[in-house]
Structure 1
Amino acid sequence: MSISISGLLLVLTLNFQVAAHNFSYAEVLILFKIL
């Protein structure tokens, strides 16, 4: 389970750099709250 979460965080981190151009920080914070 920990490995899956770690992998997910890595993917989110990589996607964050790209999504940062399209998503606002508020939306990103909401996503983290959901997780």
Structure 2
Amino acid sequence: MDEAALKELGDSLAAALPAAALDTRVAFGELTVTLP
């Protein structure tokens, strides 16, 4: 894998991680809200 492809992969991972973390937090928040 060349350097440009590696950088692109790193950039897409960096972009995807915050979105995944936010989704998890939102799902967890909904879970805690629905608990009695």
Measured against the shorter chain, the TM-score band is 0.5 to 0.7
Deviation at 1:8, TM superposition (A): 0.4
Structure 1: 5+ residue stretches without partners: 23-35
Percent same amino acid at aligned positions? 18
Structure 2: gaps spanning 5 or more residues: 25-36
Count of matched residue pairs:
22
TM-score of the aligned structures, taking structure 1 as reference length: 0.53
Instruction: From the two aligned structures, give the one with the greater helix fraction.
Output: 2
RMSD: 0.9
Provide TM-score, normalisation by structure 2. 0.52
Q: Which has the larger radius of gyration?
A: 2
